Structure 1
Amino acid sequence: ASTPLVWETAINQWPGIFKDIDQAMIVFLEMFPALLVLDPRTRNMLEDFSDRGVRTGIVTNGGTPMQTAKIEESGLVALVDSYMISGSLGVRKPDPVIFQAALESIGAVAGRTLFVGDNAEHDIVGASDVGMKGAWMSLSRPWPVEGTEPDFVLENVWDVRQLVFGEGATE
């Protein structure tokens, strides 16, 4: 169902809570970042990366206020070295500018950097275009981009630990 239809259905299902779709969306957007919970395995992995000197960052498309709130509320801000938000830079993935800015912000070289993402075209192809290796979170989906393949296919984000540290890496 389309987003407006979902909100209209919710408003009709629970009358009196919101006066209209716009009000429901405003409340949702204000509350959403606070609802995010970082999986303890992700926290553990990022802490392990930091302890071992592996620099990490986030590159995200979206508006600056919402994405910043999500990064801060989830606790990721304390676990990564840098984050790039498309709304702040004026370019969106897969534009090479956002990937280059991310590399510069953590002092990394593209050829020695792994980019992990769940969007084949925006994340993996975009990162590959600037020389990074790409690890695609397939979420059990087939690879959708013809003529190219990801360097790695992951089923969950915790598999990144093994890619970075090699065989036998554990949580």
Structure 2
Amino acid sequence: MAIQAVLFDLDNTLVNRKKAFQNYAERFVDEFVLVVDSRNRVQVVEYIIQADRDGYRKKRELYEELLTEFTMKNPVTADTLVDYWFAEFFKHTVVMDGALELLEQLRSKEIKLGLITNGSVHSQNSKIDQVQLRSYFDAVIVSDEVQLKKPDPKIFELALERLGVTAASSIYIGDHPRNDVTGAKSAGLGTIWLRGAEEWDEALEKPNFMIRELNEIRKIVEELG
């Protein structure tokens, strides 16, 4: 069956979360953390990046740890730092190389586009709108908004319902082996794994395709019809 819909993950698929968090962490250190020299600053930034676990960690837990690990320039609370996160992180959002060109190409072929992302309503919607992605999509699903979360197949089924397409005629692209690939497979979609952000779990069933660059997707869609 010809491809009628292409669905995407957001973080580290359409937007470069790793690069965004690097920029945010540097800004955070300059704003809050007392450092002794440039070498110490680099070490503190790297610590924060590792402690964040690529976003798979509760923000309050992260900031409570940072308050115990580092000396702050001024007295602050975890609440203050969490508020700063929600106010500032989305401003550092960076689109992945080739993402806009790919979305334009797919839309020109009258293929329906969907976006499914885990995360808070404020954070994910702010990132989407910061880089003006929303207008490309026929359906945008944020996990906290619908009370479903990848890899639950129901969140993929909800997106298909909103797009008015079948799983067999749809393909999903994401960077996370379990949340994206396994989740989409369990809902019956074709799957494309974008390498680079996460290591593959060899215990999982392989995706239909593996890519390193988003521009590879166009050829895959053309080959599938």
TM range (shorter): 0.7 to 0.9
1:53 to 80, 88, 110: 110
1:7 aligns with 2:66: yes
CA deviation profile, 1:33-70 (whole Å, cap 9, x unmatched): 12213246211110111111111111111111211111
Instruction: After TM superposition, list the pairs within 5 Å mapping 1:92-111 onto structure 2.
Output: 92-111=149-168
2:119 to 50, 58, 62: 62
Name the counterpart of 1:163.
220
For the residues of structure 2 that align with 1:108 and 1:10, how far apart are their CA atoms?
50
RMSD, aligned CA: 2.4
CA deviation profile, 1:56-93 (whole Å, cap 9, x unmatched): 11111111121111111121101222111111111111
Report the Cα offset of residue 28 of structure 1. Answer: 2.0
Instruction: After TM superposition, list the pairs within 5 Å mapping 1:25-40 onto structure 2.
Output: 25-39=82-96
SS at structure 2 position matched to 1:115: strand
CA deviation profile, 1:101-124 (whole Å, cap 9, x unmatched): 111111221011110011111111
With over 3 angstroms needed to count, the CA separation of the structure-2 counterparts of 1:101 and 1:77, relative to structure 1, is same
More RCO (CA 8 Å, sep 6+): 2
Report the Cα offset of residue 139 of structure 1. Answer: 1.0
Instruction: After TM superposition, list the pairs within 5 Å mapping 1:64-103 onto structure 2.
Output: 64-103=121-160
Report the Cα offset of residue 148 of structure 1. Answer: 1.2
For the residues of structure 2 that align with 1:61 and 1:27, how far apart are their CA atoms?
20
1:154 to 194, 202, 211: 211
Report the Cα offset of residue 158 of structure 1. Answer: 2.5
SS at structure 1 position matched to 2:206: coil
With over 3 angstroms needed to count, the CA separation of the structure-2 counterparts of 1:147 and 1:80, relative to structure 1, is closer
Task: Work out the percentage of aligned pairs sharing the same amino acid.
Answer: 24
Task: Tell me if the contact between 2:177 and 2:201 (Cα under 8 Å) persists in the aligned partners.
Answer: yes
Report the Cα offset of residue 23 of structure 1. Answer: 1.2
For the residues of structure 2 that align with 1:90 and 1:135, how far apart are their CA atoms?
25
Name the counterpart of 1:121.
178
Report the Cα offset of residue 164 of structure 1. Answer: 1.3
For the residues of structure 2 that align with 1:147 and 1:28, how far apart are their CA atoms?
33
Task: Tell me if the contact between 2:151 and 2:184 (Cα under 8 Å) persists in the aligned partners.
Answer: yes
Task: Tell me if the contact between 1:11 and 1:20 (Cα under 8 Å) persists in the aligned partners.
Answer: no
With over 3 angstroms needed to count, the CA separation of the structure-2 counterparts of 1:46 and 1:10, relative to structure 1, is farther
CA deviation profile, 1:129-148 (whole Å, cap 9, x unmatched): 11111101121755204151
Q: How many residues align?
A: 165
For the residues of structure 1 that align with 2:128 and 2:197, how far apart are their CA atoms?
26
Report the Cα offset of residue 7 of structure 1. Answer: 3.5
Report the residue type matching 2:152 in the other structure.
D
For the residues of structure 2 that align with 1:75 and 1:11, how far apart are their CA atoms?
36
TM, length-normalised to structure 1: 0.84
For the residues of structure 1 that align with 2:90 and 2:168, how far apart are their CA atoms?
33
